Amino acid sequence: MDSQSPPPSAATPSRMFFGEYERGLDSKGRITLPSQIREALGDEDAILTRGLDKCLFLFPRSQFEELREKIRSIGLATREARNFRRHVFSGAAPVKPNGMGRINLPPYLRDFAELTDSVIVAGIDTYVEIWDTKRWQEQLAQLEEDAVNMESWKHLGI
């Protein structure tokens, strides 16, 4: 990249989160992000929030801003829209890895995802999911079951 090129953003294919990493949760509620995840994040701040399926979502700030715009576009008229906003935004916390690559998982987010001592950090293309290890294993078992019948994924265009 020359000095005139803009830095890569979350929307460019140069940033992709992938892989599955088991990590310990220390007594202060911190995990060490895998080096591959830290490299993909670069110097950008991140936002940690409640995810779906009882996991946490970690977004680069720029990706979270894109999500925010999409959520804003759905308005406030329906209970479902308001509840989704509450779910995402009231639980959001800014995080930045420290010099050792650790981030703090606030107690209310650890409680939400039922995180105790062992967690899985999973790169999911444009964001990262943080799971309780046992729940992640259950999720993978379900994925394997679903993968047996690829017809169920046909509507995704895959």
So what's the pLDDT on residue 83? 92
So what's the pLDDT on residue 11? 40
So what's the pLDDT on residue 5? 36
**What would you report as the CA-atom Rg of the chain, rounded to the nearest whole angstrom?**
17
Contact criterion met (CB below 8 Å) for 123 and 40: yes
Contact criterion met (CB below 8 Å) for 46 and 59: yes
So what's the pLDDT on residue 4? 41
Q: Which fold has domain 17-133?
A: Chemotaxis protein chec (3.40.1550)
Which pTM value belongs to this model? 0.84
Domain ranges of the chain: 17-133
| One pLDDT digit (tens) per residue for the chain, 158 residues | 343 433 344 444 568 999 999 999 999 999 999 999 999 999 999 999 999 999 999 999 999 999 999 988 988 888 999 999 999 999 999 999 999 999 999 999 999 999 999 999 999 999 999 999 999 999 999 888 877 666 766 777 76
Measure the CA–CA gap between 146 and 32, rounded to whole angstroms: 31
**Among residues 58, 54, 38, 57, which one has the least CA distance to residue 115?**
54
Query: Which two structure tokens, joined as six digits, stand for 42?
Result: 């670069």
